[in-house]
Structures are given as C-alpha cells and as structure tokens.
A and B are shown apart, each in its own frame.
Chain A
Amino acid sequence: MTNAEGSDLAPDGARVPAVELRQLRFGYRPGTPVLQIDSLIVPAGETVFLHGPSGSGKTTLLGIIAGVLKADRGEALVLGKDLTRLGGSDRDQLRGERLGYIFQMFNLIPYLSAFDNITLPCRMNPRRMKRLDGSLDSETRALARTLEIESLLDARPGELSVGQQQRVAAARALLGRPELVVADEPTSALDADRREAFLGLLFESCREAGATLLFVSHDRSLEGRFDRALSLPDVNRAPVAA
C-alpha cells in the first residue's frame, strides 16, 4: 500500500482531497447511528475548520478519519485510501506514516523528554522515518525552532506549560511531513493570547510541511483564520445524542 508521491493527483490533474467521506454511516450500537454523513470533503493543502458542539459526533468522526474506528457503511477516503476497505493494521500503518494527530490536552508521554516525544512516531514507524529530508535530529531541531520550543527539547512534559506542551505535540504531529494533520480542540486549554500564538505557529508549520490541517473546535471565534469552515451539525444527519 505504499503510496507514491504522484498518487495524490487525481487522473484529471487536480489534487485528491485529503479527506472525502461519502454516504458514511457509523454507530456504536446497531440502530443508534452517531454519524450519517452523505458528503464531507477536506481539500488537500488547505486549513479547514470543522465546527461542532459537544455531542455532535466530532470525536467519533476524528476516530474514523484517523482509522481507529471503522465505518459501518459508505466510503471514508483519507489521502486517497478508502479506510473502510483497509484492515486494522493497514489503517494503523497509514495513521502512523502519513497522519499527525493533536489532542485537546495531555498529548505527551510523561516519561519521555520533549525530544523523545516528538520523534516517537518516526521511531515507531520506519516509513515515516524515511519521509524525513535530513537526519532525525536536525529535522526535529528545525521544527522545534519554528514552534519556538528548541530550548525545551530535553525537558519532561511535567516541566512544560500547557502552551509549550501543545507546541511539542504539534511538532510531533508534523515531524515526518504528514499529509494530514488532525487537531482535536488543541487550543481549548489555552488562553486567548496563547491560542492566537499557537494557531499562528501551527499554520506556519503546516504550510512549511505542505500538510492539510483539519482543525476541530466548538469555538467559532477561530473560524475566520482558516481557509475553509465546515459545520458538523450541517452535514451529520444522525440525531444528536443527549
């Protein structure tokens, strides 16, 4: 399932969307659908804001896009691969190799230094390691410089502020030039100033890496800074859970 660089291009020359969901159905239990999405597209190379209040199925949707959950029906194309047709380990492989993921908070493994946290995906996945242009060390330092955490690389997560931890998490998501970065409310634990600063750095890094950014939040105030905004309640026809 090695994906050559060129395969991101559709036959007509346009770039394949980073995420494309079609007629997607998902429920944890039969008869109670959580997601019913007829169409949702995240164009490649863009920064996309996906808005959704809590309970609208955001986390479930991200689980499907990341390949941790498997849709019951429909197609879930991520970076050109239909995840509904891939086995578990292939989905794990795709995520490890070509995705970056940032949580709301507590992103880091507490017993690893910032440096070790950032390099963990590359060390776990040889194919992601191969995507590096330079050495692991130099790439990590370059990324850390962009995110202004270069001096913190030896620190343990416990010694970092929340804002610093989120930047380490961003660096980890971006190292190895992933084509898609999924961020699940990464700024919700930050105050307004830091939120702005973090977003700026995240955008800059994604642009440098050439990654598509899918940013999920319930906070619409951030919406204006993205190339595109989507609303999950608008596309999800499943009844909203209580």
Chain B
Amino acid sequence: MLTLDLARRSLRNRLLPSILTVLSIAFSVALLVGIENIRNGLRASFTGTISGTDLIVGPQAGSIQLLLYSVFGMGSPTGNISAEAYEHFQNHPAVAWTIPYALGDSHRGYRVIGTTQDFYEHFRYRGGTPLALAQGDRAREARDVVLGSEVAERLEYDLGERIVVTHGMGAPGIMDHDDMPFQVVGILERTGTPVDRALYMTLEGIDAMHEGWEDGVPPAPPSFAPGGEGSAEDDYYAAPPTPPSETDAHDHDHDHQHAEAQTPVGAQDPSDHAHDHGGTQITSFFLGTTSRFEMLSLQREINEYRGEPLMAIAPGIALAEMWRSVGYAEDGLKIVSFFVVIVGLLGMLVSLYTALDARRREMAIFRALGAGPRRIIGLLVVESGFLALMGAVIGVALVYGSILLFQGTVEARFGLLIPIRPLGSLEWLYLGAVVAAGFFLGLIPAAKAYRNTLTDGLSPRS
C-alpha cells in the first residue's frame, strides 16, 4: 500500500511529464488500433459493395472482368446476353429475382446503366441494405433517369434537369445521343459504393436511344459515319468476337431494328418495343436464388447453358478473391502498423526511461532508508506499468470515441463505413506488449538504481 501511495504521489509530482508519457503511449496505441479499424473498414466496405446477390451472370470471360464492369463500373463489358438467355434464367424455378444491367453509355464520364424496377427492389449492399431514393422517384418511363448520389453532387444536378447521354465512355461530342434528352426524376441516397457513381434509366430508354445506332455510330448524315471499320472498337453492344450463335441472334435483331429505324423515336412506346421484340440485349444480370442450396447447381447450369456462352460468378467469393489480389493495400497498412508498433514501443521506452533515470537520486535515498531492491523495483514498476496501462486504455478509448464521433462523417465523405468492432488479436497483442513493456521497463532503471547504490555507495554523483 505504501508503494502504491508513493507511486501515486510521485506521479502526481511529475504530472506534466507523466501526462506526456501517457499521451505518447496513447497516441501510438490509437494509431495502431485506428489503422486496424480502417483496414477492417476497407475490407468490409469492399466486400460489402454488393450483398444479397447470389450470382452475377455475364458473357463468358474473366470472372474479375465481369465483377469489375458489373459491380465496380470499371472496364468494358465483354459482350451481350441475349434476351432469350436472360428470360430463360429469369423464369428459372431456382431464381427468385433478377436485375438486368445494360451498360455502354455514359454521361460526362459517369456510367449510364439501363435496368428495371428490380434494381430498386432487389439491389442490396453492405449487409443487406436496400437502395433508397433521397429525392424524387424511380425511373419508370423511357426518358427518366435516376442519379447516383455522387453524380448528382458533382454535376450539381437537381430533379428535372435534362441531360444528354453519350455513346460509349468518351467525352460529350459527336457520339451524343442528343436526339433523345433524358430528365432527372430521382436521386439515390448515398451508399458509399460504386452505385453512387452511375446513372440509372430503364431498358426501354436505352433501347430507344439506340434506335439506328446499331453500327455504333449516330444515325446522322452519312459523311460522319465512319462505316464498318470503326464500329468494332467502341460498340459494346456489338461485341465483335461473338460466337456464331450470338452473331445469329444479333444479326436478326439488327435487321429488325433497321426496318423500324424510320419511326420517330418520340412517338414510339418503348415498352411496346421491348415486348414486341422479345426484350433488350443486356450486358449482365444479377440474380437471387429461391434457396441458397440451388446456387451451386444454378451456377453450373448457367456456365453450361447451350444457347450462348455465359458465366456466373458468386460475388461474395469473387470479391474475397479480388480483395486478396488487391490485398497489397492491406499489406501496406499492416506494414505501417508494424512500424507504428515499433516506434510506439521505442517512444514509450524513451519517455519512461528518461523519467525513471532522473530519479536515481531518489532511489539512493530509499536505499539509505532501508528499502530493499524489492521495494525499489516495486515502486518503479508500478509507476511505469501504470503509465503504460493508462496510455493503452486512453489510446483505445480515443479510437472508439473518434469512431463514434466521426463514423457518420467518414461514411458520408469517403463512403467508408468503419464499424465498431471488438479489438482484434493483433491489437490485444500490442496492448499486452505495451503494458508488459511498461512493467518490464521499470525493471531497467530499478536494476540500474540498485547497481548504482552498490558502486556509488549511497551517494550517487548526480
């Protein structure tokens, strides 16, 4: 008890240095625990980009590529899925719902996605959160467009804004679908996922817009049309290296639409159009199964579909795979954590050691008064251990306090949700190391003080 009382008074006597030592320990602990939380947040955010979707289906190609263009809005679709194939699986008994995606157009660098009401109904992200509209309504008519939150924010669009969609991913220009402007009818809530960075319209809208664009160029004056040569390059809908079966289907559709090209676009009912011609070509679709047990057999069935070469990927598995392949970002953070630990422990060593080394005189007095080595060691160990413990506790409190305070801001700003989670094993290990080092560190100056009283007698020359 006397030791505790003495340690308490001694710490209070050196309040400022004690506080500084505690703070330096707290900051290093906070840094490590903070980095660990961000690392986990990044992973959760990444793997939570899409949830609830059992399979993503696209034309046969690389699974990463399919994931990139359908979920992350990166890269180009590798081809199309025919309306027949889509309908086949849409009506499959194991399929509960589907969300079709028709990609290939953009607006000022942001992707335009043609989809259906199913998108608003069934799309889920981050642990099953559904999409919500911040303003307005879903896109229901051919000329409606709904904006992702980032699109609305960056381009400063409000409801009612009229926008023109560009064919392909290029800058606005001669590839504009300027014969068919769209009107913003809704803006989605922020999700912190790539959903925020796209525009959503109906498949009918996509169809109507592309009347006469089957060659990948505007149906405008012949002088501007580059002809057959240039078409393969830009046109995602044309999917150049298509297998025979798809080419057949495509050609069929192609001819058909040509025949109708004379009809004024505005006068046409797009939904009729879609129904009349057996639906639109899409680039991929998401699906949910009626039962998770069906997933594997359904996946195999899609991969072996005879109508055209399709592939299905399970987004959860694909995302985890992808996270591993881009995991060097995480490794980078781990390396940073490692150095934070080293620097933190070193800093703690220095501040505790200097604080204790300044007290050799005090230790000589204690020795002279009959204090044995155990008392001296107890005194120093209790003090440095207490400082380390306080530092660890305050550091952890600092991190969780900041997460509680800034969780919302960070999510809104960076689309990164940092969840409140219990400490991981690495963090416990570090905390243990900090506290253990604190206690152990008290031993060094104690041993030194003891040795000094032996060599100096009772009069250290300090």
Residues of A within 8 A of B (CB): 28, 59-60, 62-63, 66, 68-69, 88-89, 92-93, 95-97, 99, 101, 103-104, 106-112, 120-121, 123-125, 128, 172, 184
Cβ of B13 and Cβ of A111 under 8 Å apart? yes
Is B2 an interface residue, CB under 8 A from the partner? yes
Q: Which of B369-392 contact A (CB under 8 A)?
A: 369-375
Interface residues on B, range: 20 to 34
Is B121 an interface residue, CB under 8 A from the partner? no
Residue among A28, A111, A125 with most chain B CB within 10 A: A111
CA distance A107 to B375 in the complex (A): 18
Closest partner residue, chain A, to B14 (CB atom):
A111
Is B245 an interface residue, CB under 8 A from the partner? no
Closest partner residue, chain B, to A116 (CB atom):
B9
CA distance A60 to B6 in the complex (A): 29
Is B179 an interface residue, CB under 8 A from the partner? no
19 residue pairs from A and B, CB less than 8 Å apart: A59-B459, A62-B457, A66-B368, A68-B367, A68-B453, A68-B457, A96-B369, A97-B370, A99-B370, A101-B458, A103-B368, A104-B459, A108-B365, A109-B362, A110-B13, A120-B369, A121-B370, A172-B369, A184-B458
Q: Apart from A107-B365, A124-B371, what are 17 other A-B pairs with CB-CB below 8 Å?
A: A28-B455, A59-B458, A62-B458, A66-B457, A68-B367, A68-B368, A68-B453, A89-B372, A92-B372, A93-B370, A95-B368, A103-B368, A110-B362, A111-B13, A121-B370, A124-B2, A172-B369
CA distance A108 to B370 in the complex (A): 14
Interface of B is mostly: helix
Nearest chain A CB to B219 CB, angstrom units = 90
Residues of chain B within 8 A (CB-CB) of A28 are 455
CA distance A121 to B362 in the complex (A): 14
CA distance A59 to B12 in the complex (A): 33
Cβ of A103 and Cβ of B459 under 8 Å apart? yes
CA distance A56 to B12 in the complex (A): 40
User: Residues 403-445 of chain B: 1 if any A CB is under 8 Å from the residue's CB, otherwise 0?
Assistant: 0000000000000000000000000000000000000000000
Residues of chain B within 8 A (CB-CB) of A97 are 370
Residues of chain B within 8 A (CB-CB) of A88 are 372-373
Residues of chain A within 8 A (CB-CB) of B362 are 109-110
Cβ of A59 and Cβ of B456 under 8 Å apart? yes
Residue of B361, B370, B454, B459 near A96 (CB, 8 A) is B370
Cβ of B365 and Cβ of A63 under 8 Å apart? no
Residues of chain B within 8 A (CB-CB) of A112 are 6, 9
Residues of B within 8 A of A (CB): 2, 6, 9-10, 12-14, 361-362, 365-375, 453-459
Residues of chain A within 8 A (CB-CB) of B371 are 92, 96, 124
Residues of chain A within 8 A (CB-CB) of B12 are 111
Number of A-B contacts (CB under 8 A): 77
Cβ of A124 and Cβ of B369 under 8 Å apart? yes
CA distance A230 to B366 in the complex (A): 28
Nearest chain A CB to B346 CB, angstrom units = 28
Residues of chain B within 8 A (CB-CB) of A66 are 368, 457-458
Residue among A68, A93, A121 with most chain B CB within 10 A: A68
Residue of B373, B455, B459 near A184 (CB, 8 A) is B459
Cβ of B454 and Cβ of A69 under 8 Å apart? yes
**9 closest Cβ pairs, A-B complex:** A96-B370, A111-B13, A63-B457, A92-B372, A59-B457, A101-B368, A95-B370, A121-B369, A111-B9
Residues of chain A within 8 A (CB-CB) of B366 are 109
Cβ of A63 and Cβ of B458 under 8 Å apart? yes
Cβ of B365 and Cβ of A124 under 8 Å apart? no
Closest partner residue, chain A, to B374 (CB atom):
A89
CA distance A92 to B13 in the complex (A): 27
CA distance A66 to B368 in the complex (A): 8
Nearest chain A CB to B58 CB, angstrom units = 73
Closest partner residue, chain A, to B371 (CB atom):
A124
CA distance A28 to B454 in the complex (A): 9
Nearest chain B CB to A161 CB, angstrom units = 19
CA distance A101 to B366 in the complex (A): 11
Nearest chain A CB to B370 CB, angstrom units = 2
Nearest chain B CB to A131 CB, angstrom units = 13
Cβ of B370 and Cβ of A124 under 8 Å apart? yes
Closest partner residue, chain B, to A90 (CB atom):
B372
CA distance A172 to B10 in the complex (A): 19
CA distance A92 to B371 in the complex (A): 6
CA distance A93 to B370 in the complex (A): 6
Cβ of A101 and Cβ of B10 under 8 Å apart? no
Residues of chain B within 8 A (CB-CB) of A120 are 369
Cβ of B459 and Cβ of A68 under 8 Å apart? no
Cβ of A60 and Cβ of B458 under 8 Å apart? no
Nearest chain A CB to B282 CB, angstrom units = 78
Residues of chain A within 8 A (CB-CB) of B14 are 111
Nearest chain B CB to A111 CB, angstrom units = 3
Residues of chain B within 8 A (CB-CB) of A93 are 370, 372
CA distance A107 to B12 in the complex (A): 20
Residues of chain A within 8 A (CB-CB) of B368 are 66, 68, 95, 101, 103
CA distance A159 to B372 in the complex (A): 29
Closest partner residue, chain B, to A99 (CB atom):
B370
CA distance A107 to B362 in the complex (A): 9
CA distance A6 to B196 in the complex (A): 94
Cβ of A103 and Cβ of B372 under 8 Å apart? no
Closest partner residue, chain A, to B11 (CB atom):
A111
Residues of chain A within 8 A (CB-CB) of B455 are 28
Residues of chain B within 8 A (CB-CB) of A121 are 369-370
Residues of chain A within 8 A (CB-CB) of B365 are 103, 106-109
Nearest chain B CB to A113 CB, angstrom units = 10
Residue of B9, B375, B458 near A124 (CB, 8 A) is B375
Nearest chain A CB to B96 CB, angstrom units = 73
CA distance A30 to B459 in the complex (A): 22
Cβ of B457 and Cβ of A101 under 8 Å apart? no
Residues of chain B within 8 A (CB-CB) of A104 are 459
CA distance A69 to B456 in the complex (A): 9
CA distance A123 to B5 in the complex (A): 11
CA distance A68 to B449 in the complex (A): 12
Nearest chain A CB to B398 CB, angstrom units = 28
CA distance A238 to B370 in the complex (A): 29
Nearest chain B CB to A24 CB, angstrom units = 15
Residue among B14, B367, B457 with most chain A CB within 10 A: B457
